[in-house]
Amino acid sequence: MGSGLGSLFAIDMAIQWSLWAVAAALKTEKFYDLAGSSTFGLLVAMSYRNSSGHLRQKIQTAMVATWAARLGLFLFGRVMKQGSDSRFDKVKNQPGTFLMYWTVQGLWVMVTLLPTLMLNSSRQNPPLCSLDYLGWALWASGFLLEVVADEQKRRFRLDPSNTSKWIESGVWSCSRHPNYLGEIMLWAGLFTSASAVFSGWQWASLGSPLFVAYLLTKVSGIPILERQAHRRWGTIPAFMEYRKRTAVLVPWIW
């Protein structure tokens, strides 16, 4: 198992660093997110090819592939329409700093995929149990929430009357970052379902959903967007009221 994970990690990083070289030469971030999601799809397909191919592995692999295809195409379409991604405004002209972003993406891919990679490398195939069904239900709920949130925001931005406005309708009325909540839920679900076959050190892959939650809530997700929102609308009373009454991530909790 260790050698298999090591090989996949080497492939992962080779992809990220090779594409960084292209992106740095072109000074573009446009295919950054597409590269990340495509790497998810490639690694999970490679791991499944060497698996036993039982139902639990098929469903888990299909869920990862579905998420990767949907999110990758959505983010690629968005950046192509907008022409840029504000996260990279200050770094795409600095190759060394830009490399760190691609390296972190490689780590994100590998750590996030660990439960699924461990599941696909396992020869254990116990009967389906409550952990499987709970995990799949959590994945489905998170995936649906993420899709709905992204689509509601996309439609909101298509309306010219909403230019320079913030969205506070639909699921965005309950959470300021419902898409990130969905993302955390679906990866927690994939860990839960995969854990039905875990033993020993494999439980360390709990770091997968914890890592996703940490990145989104403390590093590259919510903190950046909250600062951007405050700069744009922080002096508008209606926006401050929206912030006051709406949870950052989990409705009625935080």
Model confidence pLDDT, tens digit, residues 140-159: 999 999 999 999 999 999 99
166 in Cβ contact with 239 (< 8 Å): yes
Mean pLDDT value across the chain? 95
pLDDT-derived band of residue 68, with 50, 70 and 90 as boundaries?
Answer: very high
35 in Cβ contact with 75 (< 8 Å): no
Mean pLDDT along residues 39-62:
96
Determine the pLDDT at residue 254: 85
187 in Cβ contact with 63 (< 8 Å): no
DSSP-assigned beta bridge partners for residue 175: 247
Whose tokens are 């968005």? That residue is 78
Pick left, alpha or beta for residue 170 (phi over 0 → left; psi -120 to 50 → alpha; otherwise beta).
left
Listed range (77-91, 194-208, 225-239) with the worst mean pLDDT: 77-91
pLDDT-derived band of residue 3, with 50, 70 and 90 as boundaries?
Answer: low
Q: Between 199 and 180, where is the model more confident?
A: 180
Model confidence pLDDT, tens digit, residues 81-101: 888 888 898 899 999 999 999
Spell out the domain ranges in the chain.
1-124, 126-254
% of the chain at pLDDT higher than 70: 99
Mean pLDDT along residues 235-248:
97
Per-position DSSP letters for 31-89, written without gaps between them: THHHHHHHHHHHHHHHHHHTS---HHHHHHHHHHHHHHHHHHHHHHHHHHHHS--GGGT
DSSP single-letter state for residue 215: I
Q: How far apart, in whole angstroms, are the C-alpha atoms of residue 142 and residue 185?
A: 5
Determine the pLDDT at residue 90: 86
Mean pLDDT along residues 158-178:
96
- Please report, for residues 18, 28, 68, 201, 213, the alpha-carbon distance to residue 35 in angstroms, rounded to integers and kept in the order given: 11, 13, 10, 30, 21
